[in-house]
Chain A
């Protein structure tokens, strides 16, 4: 990552100089695990991104990379186990039971902590999704080990310790965190922070099946229903190739439709900065930034967004950032690739019209160039 700057310095409490003194029973902990998350039969892409990141760490440590698949019996769970090999896993731990058909903290925590206590990994990575964060917090507290949330960079030191770097204070600062003397070393990573590795068709290698030992009557929490998000809210914002977003510079909730219109012409997803969610103009699933979604599109157009650090950390992975803002001193121009000092209210409709003309199948503009 490009964020590395100054030399190491002592942090609060003077514990930065702490040494690794791993107790005897933790020395048995080996290999890297990635929790493969499924939602209603679909593997969350963040799991494959983590297998990619985990593969690099495993190669550096010369250990195995294992996928952990937990879910109901059936084809979807089996496919998740098989797919993991295509994204770099050396083996898969599998817990299947029909009480796992919907995610519940109690049952999934038991499945994962039982696996850890039995097979003892040194590093355990999960996606920082709602499910992954809920599960990781419970597992870490049960195992009394350290957990670093929402990491943006993972590495291993010369002594084999996991160095997990994460933004803190809303992205104003970065810190590198270690769990030196407890195992496993746990970390979560948000979707789209790590690049998606290429899928390589591979036969399944080792699959280790582990029983759950839990019946429905043991689980107190019941799922009454699942209400899927309305289609309009079912955005694929994090994984879109083109994203258009608006901020406070739009001035009024009505102007936000200018963002939607340009997005529609570009076949793009639309998003917004945090203030628009706080004002209730746009729903929170459209928020881009530190407390919203991280995006990695080929093209990102930010209209009327000032570009506070909290927004920046969510969009830095975009290949091309185009910023439109009336204030030429807006911080967004510090990291945008193309900056236009202009009023988004005028420019957005003009761009929409221009792209509509250019992208029409009969565009003379395009054929001429």
Chain B
């Protein structure tokens, strides 16, 4: 192995066999030996390879269940891979959880020694670092108190304090930042910068894409136990967001599919008069569905800031209806009213649209920030007050992603000077 490689992972796979009904006792095994045990095979990792250089800050991202933690546990030596090999060059301190082995019945001091030992320090080293550990945790006056009497914030502070003083050449961290208040998180991040300056190898599993982008040199994206890509942070995070969104899109699609199936069923058993919406009979028009399209008229749910967006309202109308008015409003998922338009105020002649059976609104270069948005749409007669039909967020969401770290729900054209 190359001298400046810290960790080399060579085509590892890991499968968990999850028995449907666990048989742990001999009686069960003997009495039910004829019954086949059904294992649910779960491929936590499939053929993952990577090489991490010394001094690198390496991020691992992916959805829940994508194998991030399993990979980390294999790197830490807790699990062994089914195939493939892992070579680690240097001492590892794994922080898969803060405060491993913490015993609530022991005092803070005892727990520093206990946790420190488990994290790989000798008594002598802990004694040497003890004043610093306490100072960092800011728990001087509570150190002889039992940990069970600590607040959860104090426990985390103590644990983190031990953890950063136990550091070795290679640090494995699993979501350590997910806990603690913003003060504490800021402290963690300062330590990360220190680690980086000390040229430590750090492997961080996280859901916080901002942190990942800010600190990592490279990021690996895992999906269903497979390595999707290893690249610079920007691309990996973008790819991850795109994946998440297309997952979301599929979910919405499946939901709407299901809905239309349900509708059919209701139509079939239309015996119960309660199901019949009496007002529907006299409605001049009904909004059937709302679609989000891109400029090529293909259905989409995710857009980048600056993309074109077309909102298409499908509706049905009664024979003989010649003229209708349409209103479309965009809301953010927090229910902020972003933007509303209607054909009446824009003085659009809708006679042609009415014959089409659908109505398109083409928004050019949407100036929306990263968020989820939904649409409320309505059909009116000649006046806005006279509502014929109306739909809101049940039609589904579309998402917008800004590919920079700007915040807020709108995107304004700007320039620094």
Q: Do A and B come from one complex?
A: no
Spell out A's residues near B (CB within 8 Å). Answer: none
Spell out B's residues near A (CB within 8 Å). Answer: none
